[in-house]
């Protein structure tokens, strides 16, 4: 399942997804972390955005992300922010590695970026696209060329263009930006403080492992983090192979002050917020 798939579970009343009473004031009890907590909208698409905003705020989450412009006002009105913006025209498969996409993307991104900057949204997501037999070196060169005018605009607006690292082994076959070293080379080639990587811990554990060492080595190239359990993309608890408290400490040790976003799919929709509250506890540094 990926963020473009609709959540198939239907018929759940919002009232069935209650936070346990002892978690209602959780935001007041969390350790003060150097980074901020966010959650990805698509993982909770079956919940009205207004309801989601109210419930996640109670458990210490400051942002709901991967929202399109028509959704931004809802979270801002609830006292939250959107850490990372997207739009309907943005595609995971048709990205900047293919010159045939440059004109279209360069025509559509500026309005989104301007709107995001005006709303105070710090980052806008972008993708390499699928390989379609494009070599890694050619894809790197094409991305740098296609992104150049948009990165310049990002510099002028004071926002970040952020390219996500995704796995091509399980969820996104043929995706090109599927290893950290390739993404870091692109960051270095572009050479702007306004273009960095979204390091998705779930995806990179599948592709290359060595998560903590990679974060320490390449922290300067990373502007955002996503979580999820491996295998299965579910809760980040003892049922999976990653130990998130140690990963969060590694992120904090780099001096990171941006957003870490939960992007797991709850196994049981009726306890979704219990799982989310648990994830926030595990990702808070004591």
Q: Which pLDDT score, from 0 to 100, does residue 1 have?
A: 47
Q: How confident is the model at residue 189 (pLDDT cuts 50, 70, 90)?
A: very high
Instruction: Read off the pLDDT of each residue in 205-226 and give the average, rounded to a whole number.
Output: 98
> If 0-12 CB within 10 Å is exposed, 13-18 middle and 19+ buried, where does residue 7 land?
middle
pLDDT tens-digit profile of 33-42? 899 999 999 9
The pTM of the full predicted model, rounded to 2 decimals, is: 0.91
Q: What mean pLDDT is reported for the chain?
A: 92
Instruction: Read off the pLDDT of each residue in 101-117 and give the average, rounded to a whole number.
Output: 98
Sheet holding 259-262, edge to edge: 63-65, 36-40, 259-262, 222-227, 195-200, 160-164, 123-126
Q: Which pLDDT score, from 0 to 100, does residue 62 have?
A: 97
Q: Which pLDDT score, from 0 to 100, does residue 285 have?
A: 81
Q: How confident is the model at residue 29 (pLDDT cuts 50, 70, 90)?
A: low
pLDDT tens-digit profile of 49-81? 999 999 999 999 999 999 999 999 999 999 999
Q: Which pLDDT score, from 0 to 100, does residue 24 have?
A: 47
Q: Which pLDDT score, from 0 to 100, does residue 286 have?
A: 66
Instruction: Read off the pLDDT of each residue in 159-183 and give the average, rounded to a whole number.
Output: 98
The answer to whether 245 and 20 have CB atoms below 8 angstroms apart is no
Provide the CATH topology of domain 22-282: TIM Barrel (3.20.20)
Q: How confident is the model at residue 32 (pLDDT cuts 50, 70, 90)?
A: confident
Q: Which pLDDT score, from 0 to 100, does residue 33 have?
A: 86
5: which 2 tokens?
A: 């798939």
Give the Cα separation of 231 and 109 in Å (integer). 34
């Amino acid at each position: 399942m990926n963020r473009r798939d609709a959540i198939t579970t239907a018929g759940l009343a919002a009232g069935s997804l209650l936070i346990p009473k002892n978690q209602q004031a959780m935001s007041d009890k969390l350790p003060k972390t150097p980074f901020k907590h966010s959650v990805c909208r698509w993982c909770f698409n079956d919940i009205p955005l207004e309801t989601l905003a109210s419930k996640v705020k109670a458990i210490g989450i400051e942002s709901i992300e991967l929202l399109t412009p028509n959704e931004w006002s809802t979270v801002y009105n609830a006292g939250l922010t959107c850490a990372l913006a997207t739009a309907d025209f943005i595609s995971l498969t048709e990205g900047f590695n293919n010159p045939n996409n440059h004109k279209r993307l360069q025509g559509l991104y500026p309005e989104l970026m301007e709107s995001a900057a005006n709303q105070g949204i710090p980052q806008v997501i972008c993708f390499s696209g699928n390989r379609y037999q494009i070599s890694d070196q050619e894809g790197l060169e094409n991305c740098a060329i296609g992104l150049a005018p948009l990165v310049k605009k990002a510099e002028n607006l004071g926002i970040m263009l952020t390219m996500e690292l995704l796995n091509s082994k399980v969820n996104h076959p043929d995706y090109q930006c599927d290893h950290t070293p390739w993404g870091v080379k692109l960051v270095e080639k572009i050479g702007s403080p306004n273009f960095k990587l979204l390091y998705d811990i779930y995806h990179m554990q599948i592709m290359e492992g060595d998560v903590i060492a990679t974060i320490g080595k390449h922290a300067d190239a990373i502007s955002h983090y996503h979580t999820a359990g491996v295998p299965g993309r579910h809760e980040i608890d003892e049922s999976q192979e990653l130990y998130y408290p140690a990963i969060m400490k590694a992120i904090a040790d780099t001096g990171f002050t941006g957003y870490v976003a939960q992007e797991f799919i709850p196994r049981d929709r009726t306890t979704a917020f219990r799982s989310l509250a648990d994830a926030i506890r595990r990702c808070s540094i004591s």
